[in-house]
Chain A
Amino acid sequence: MKTVGFEPRIVGILCNWCSYAGADLAGISRIKYPANIRILRVMCSGRVEPTFVLQAFASGADGVLVSGCHPGDCHYLEGNYKAFARKELLETLLEQMGIEKERFRLTWVSANEGELFARIVGEMVREIKKIGPFYLPKSWMHELQENKHGFHAEEKEAAVGGGVVER
């Protein structure tokens, strides 16, 4: 589905030491990239639990980018490997939920790869524009209300509100 004038909203969850610093460098170098991404900081990509990604989709994200240090460069030795290990299962899960693979990316961006970071954001925005906005499946909404996903009660309300009603 193509949507005219559609601006995807992407949540970026970046590790403090490499990718967040890489995104900082893109800024310091004044490299322009689409404003569609909103960045959150975690200390390590290993901190990113699949729930964060699912919550982002539930809250109305059209795409989620998780980025950490390159293999072997993790500030915490191997947190990025743990993130990578979770990726496979998460991708399978997203696929089963009908979420296109273009909507989720796990990348490695180092502290000096500002250019690469900007390029990745650009690519993601382009690809997601092609497939159109993400609509929360109706059945999912039902389950959310039933709290089958284990979200806390107060989050459920916000998730449903942010994700579906406004669209």
Chain B
Amino acid sequence: MSDIKVGVYVCHCGTNIADRVYVSGVAEFAGSLPNVVVARDNQYMCSDPGQEMIKKDIKEMNLNRIVVAACSPRMHEPTFRKCLESAGLNGYQFEMANIREHCSWVTEDAEEATEKAKALVAAAVARVPYHEALYERFTDMCSRTLVVGGGIAGIEAALKVAASGNQVVLVEKEPSIGGNMARWDKTFPTMDCAACILAPKMVAVSQNDNITLHTYSEIEKVEGFVGNFKVTIRKKARSVEMDKCTGCCLCYGKCPVKVPSEFEAGLGTRKAIYIPFPQAVPNKPVIDRATCTYFKNGKCGVCRKTCPTGAVNYEQEDELLVEEFGAIIVATGWQTFDPALGSQWGYGRYDNVYSAIQLERLVNASGPTKGKVVMKDGRSPKSIAVLHCIGSRDKNYHEYCSRLCCMSSLKLALLLKEKTKGEVYNFYIDIRSAGKGYEEFYNRVMEEGVHFIKGKGAEVIEKNGKLVVRAEDVFLGKYREVPVDMVILSTACEARSDAARVAQVFGIQRSRDGFFLEAHPKLEPLRTATEGIYIAGCCQGPKDIPDSVAQGAGAAAEALSLIAAGKVKISPVVAVVDANKCAGCKICLPLCAYKAISFDSISKVAAVNEALCKGCGTCAASCASKALNIKHFTDEQILAQIKEVLAV
């Protein structure tokens, strides 16, 4: 390996590395390592002057391997690969030593950090002689986008992609699109009617020729990779034939079954054959087989008899569609925290304790009380308490702040004040009104005469026929009991109960709070660890409507930038078989999760299909003959690194 010429570049990263690591000492040390021709340090290696330094050295000193000791390769590896290539060197003749995330930022002692940095650099220098030039390849891709979840984020994403002329398939689990926003009455801070601004978008989805809508459907399986995903969609049996149904509504008028309505948060009822809400898209019913008399005991059949077009079909079965997509946008949304989990709030025990979502339905003109705020006995409440942070900012439930409930509570307080003319008390920890026009809205609510008590509503009890909220008033420094007629619990925004399953289907990771994890907390909020799969809206974390819409549009831009390129890059990090060493034992065949290895029956050796191989290396680790290797993660490279990382 006498022709190996390594250049080592140690980054200060301002003070991020230089604070703990004696950078010029590391560079000096690197200069003494075998094969190293030049070793330098620089304030910011990723900056133009830093990159120019590398390019100049490659040209002037004929360097053929480069090591940069700086941040995580997950951050700047692509930057430096490009830099090498612009100087005529293959981008894979490169290795990064992570002396920031794995060293300077996690080590207290400067001497220890410097030693560690030296070891990491030495390992990288030992590795690069085994590197070889690798070339990325490009493959054709499918131009269709799959959007999963028909809430406001998913709707926005679908509309934006469709507007570009590309095909979109929107899959929604519920019988109608609209998501959580469809249940809201008004939106803060403008007090727009939620349905009035959402319904036109829902209709636009149904009328867009570029959007295929599958409601009452779920994603069963996702195979393939960026550009060429193969997705299995389960269209659940609706028991109503969509092409025959005219949406005339005669069927559910006659249905004898009444069950609590999910859409009305249990306050109203629906039939077993039903349309979830008046503005539903598609505006066609579905039979809930779990509650339908016909499906329970084979008797009834009233809806089938009533339907003038013969659309009701009890024999309909689930349908499995297998379709191909280039990009996937996951916008599966969120759910409200169940306040019954904390008995201290009295939810489910006392008649007049409602959740925020229930109040949204109560104040809504099409809700169960036609918009009247009334107690269970029909009287109008004279005093109402709104309890903030139910399930949020509480280590017993969710440690995080749900972000949207302060504003939602203020909105509900204002609506209650307007509708009941009673006294409204907000029990809060802090008011978090960060947003355009939000603080102004908070001021307006205060001016309208809503009371604010700084202290978390700790407990709700019943005393002398009234509800009593117990709280510590932080400003008065006193424990208080406030008697009211009605209590509203402003519940947390939490990850959906099926988030774990959905995450597994799409290969998305989750953060500790249960929401889906983005590729980078700041710079890649819409990407996931799986290329070509994007996330938008509250499935990633609590968001208000404008943020969800912005993310939906952003995810559409991500998908479109992929599609517009027309080709997807295939990593050259794949398995390779040395036919001379392969014993033909076939151990590797069943180990490959992608079925990328086949057995060549003529030459009696294993063969790798590079288009299917993802480069995980499980096969290489199991090959007894050492015939299988992973490019860029070869045995030689890793073993050289292991030995050298311990030599310092």
Q: Is A48 positioned at the interface, with any CB of B under 8 Å from its CB?
A: yes
Range of interface residues on B (Cβ < 8 Å): 35 or more
Stretch of B112-120, B171-179, B411-419, B470-478 with 4 or more beta carbons under 8 angstroms from chain A: B112-120
Complex formed: what's the CA distance from A73 to B507 in Å?
7
Binary contact track B614-643/A, C-beta < 8 Å → 1, others 0: 111110111000000010010100110111
CA distance A26 to B101 in the complex (A): 7
Interchain CA distance A46-B593 in the complex, whole Å: 11
Question: Would you call A52 an interface residue if the criterion is a C-beta within 8 Å of the partner chain's C-beta atoms?
Answer: yes
Total chain A interface residues with beta-carbon distance under 8 A: 54
Instruction: List residues of chain B with CB within 8 A of the CB of A51.
Output: 635, 639
Alpha-carbon separation in the docked complex, A114 to B169 (Å): 37
Known pairs A59-B643, A77-B593; A39 contacts B98 (CB<8 A): yes
Determine whether the beta carbon of A32 is less than 8 Å from that of B108.
yes
Produce 1/0 per residue, B107-130, CB < 8 A to A: 111001101100110010000000
Q: A38-B123, A111-B517 are in contact. Are A33 and B646 (CB under 8 A)?
A: no
Q: Kindly state whether residue A27 has any CB partner on chain B within 8 Å.
A: yes
The interface residues of chain A lying within 8 Å CB-to-CB of B638 are 40, 42, 52
Q: Which residues of A contact B109 (CB under 8 A)?
A: 35
A144 an interface residue at 8 Å Cβ cutoff?
no
Q: Considering only CB atoms, which chain B residue lies closest to A116 in the complex?
A: B512
Q: Quick check: is A79 within 8 A (CB to CB) of the other chain?
A: yes
Report whether A79 and B633 are in contact in the complex, using a CB–CB cutoff of 8 Å: no
Task: Output the least CB separation between B104 and chain A (Å).
Answer: 8
Q: Which of A52, A75, A78, A86 contacts B639 (CB 8 A)?
A: A52
Highest count of chain B CB atoms <10 Å: which of A18, A20, A30: A20
Q: For residue B196, which residues in chain A have a CB less than 8 angstroms away from its CB?
A: none
Known contacts A43-B573, A72-B504, A24 near B101 by CB under 8 Å: yes
B101 in contact with A49 (CB, 8 Å): no
Minimum CB–CB distance from B336 to chain A (whole Å) comes to: 23
Given that A32-B106, A33-B106, A59-B643 are known contacts, is A73 also in contact with B509, CB under 8 Å in the complex? yes
Is the beta-carbon distance between B106 and A43 smaller than 8 angstroms? no
Find chain B residues with CB under 8 A from A61 CB.
642, 646
Which chain B positions have C-beta within 8 A of A56? 642, 646
A155 to B621, CA, bound (A): 18
A118 within 8 A of B: yes
Query: Which residues of A are found within 8 Å of B616, using beta-carbon distances?
Result: 43-44, 46-47, 75-76, 79
Contact B119 A27 (CB under 8 A): no
B511 on the A face (CB < 8 A): yes
Q: Does B304 contact A (CB under 8 A)?
A: no
Chain A contacts with B in 37-96, Cβ cutoff 8 A:
38-44, 46-49, 51-52, 55-56, 59-61, 69, 72-73, 75-79, 82, 86
CA distance A101 to B84 in the complex (A): 44
| Contact indicator B123/A49 (Cβ below 8 Å) | no
Partner of B618, one of A16, A26, A44: A44
Q: A162 to B643, Cβ gap below 8 A?
A: yes
What CA separation (Å) do A60 and B119 show in the bound complex?
Answer: 13
A97 within 8 A of B: no
In the bound assembly, the distance between CA atoms of A158 and B620 in angstroms comes to 23
What B residues does A155 contact at CB under 8 A?
639, 643
Contact indicator per residue, chain B 493-519, by CB within 8 Å of chain A (1) or not (0):
000000000011001011110000100
Across the A-B interface, give the 7 residue pairs with the lowest CB-CB distance, nearest first: A47-B617, A27-B101, A46-B618, A76-B616, A44-B616, A27-B105, A49-B621
Query: 5 A-B pairs, CB-CB below 8 angstroms?
Result: A28-B105, A30-B106, A47-B617, A49-B635, A82-B618
Q: A46-B616, A110-B509 are in contact. List 20 more A-B contacts (CB 8 A).
A: A21-B74, A24-B74, A26-B106, A33-B106, A35-B106, A35-B109, A35-B115, A38-B120, A38-B646, A39-B98, A40-B638, A40-B642, A51-B635, A72-B504, A75-B507, A75-B529, A76-B593, A77-B594, A155-B639, A158-B643
